[in-house]
Amino acid sequence: MKRKNRKRGKIDLLPADIRESVDMMINNPAEYRYSDIVDYIKANGFEVSKSSVARYAQSLNASLERVMLISENFRLINEEMAKYPDLDVSEALARLANHRVLEALQNMTDEDLATASPEKLINAVPALIRAATYKRDVDTKAKSAMAAAYDVFKSDIFDALAADDPQLYNQLASYIKRKQEEDNQ
C-alpha cells in the first residue's frame, strides 16, 4: 500500500510562532488578504508567494474541516449514548459508521455511481456486516460469561443459605419455583 506523504510547503517550514500568526490571519479573511500575509512573512525575514499562501490556506481549511467533522462525530456519539444508556461505545460507533455510509450512498449522483469502483462498494457491505456480527458475538459471549458467573454466585449463595438458614432457603426455593411456573403459563 502506498503511503501518502504529508505536503511540506514553505509556510509549513516557518518557525512555529510565525506559522501560528499566519494561521490566525488565514482564519480572519475579513481582516487579512493573502497579500497582507505575504507582507507579514516578508517582514519576518522569509520569502513566500501568494500562491504558497493560498495552497497553505487550502490545506489548513481542509484540516480544520476534518477536525470539525471529528468533533461532530463525537457529538453524535455522545448524543446516542445519552439517548440509549445501555448502548456501548462500539455500538454507537457502528451506528455512526452505518449512518455515514448510507448518507454517502444517498448523496452519490448517477455520475458518481458510474465512476465508483464496484469492488469498493461491494467490499464495504461485508465489512459493515462483519463489524456488526463481531459486535453481536462479543456481546453474546459477554452475556454468557455473566450468566455463568451469576449461576456460580447463585449456587454459592443458595448453598450457604441452605446450610445457615434451611427454613429461609425452603421459602425462597418455593417462591422461585412458583414464579417460574407463573411465567411458563
Q: At residue 143, what are phi and psi to the nearest 5 degrees?
A: -65, -40
pLDDT band at residue 1 using 50, 70 and 90 as cut-offs: very low
CA distance 33 to 21: 13
Q: How many of the other CB atoms lie within 10 Å of CB of 129?
A: 10
With a pLDDT cut of 90, the percent of the chain lying above it is 23
**CA–CA distance, 41 with 162 (Å, rounded to integer):** 84
Cell of 105: 450512498
Instruction: Say if residue 42's pLDDT is above 90.
Output: yes
User: What's the pLDDT tens digit per position in 96-106?
Assistant: 777 777 777 77
The reported pLDDT for the residue numbered 172 is: 83
CB 121 within 8 A of CB 112: no
Q: Cα–Cα distance between 8 and 98 in angstroms, integer?
A: 35
**Residue 33, pLDDT above cutoff 90:** yes
45-62 per-position pLDDT tens digit: 999 999 999 999 998 888
What does R_g of the chain's alpha carbons equal in angstroms?
30
Q: What is the dihedral of CA 93, 96, 97, 103, to 10 degrees?
A: 180
First-to-last alpha carbon distance for the chain, in angstroms, is 61
Q: Is the pLDDT of residue 2 over 60?
A: no
pLDDT of residue 6: 54
**For the residues 118-133, what does the mean pLDDT come to?**
70
| 44: CB partners within 8 A, 6+ apart | 18
Type of residue at 86: D
- Give me the helix-helix angle, 34-43 and 50-83, nearest 10°: 110
pLDDT of 5 above 60? no
Distance CA 22, CA 53 (A): 9
2: left (phi over 0), alpha (psi -120 to 50) or beta: beta
**pLDDT of 62-90, one tens digit each?**
888 888 888 887 787 778 778 877 767 67
> Would you say 20 and 47 are in contact if contact means Cβ atoms under 8 Å apart?
no
> How far apart, in whole angstroms, are the C-alpha atoms of residue 64 and residue 84?
30
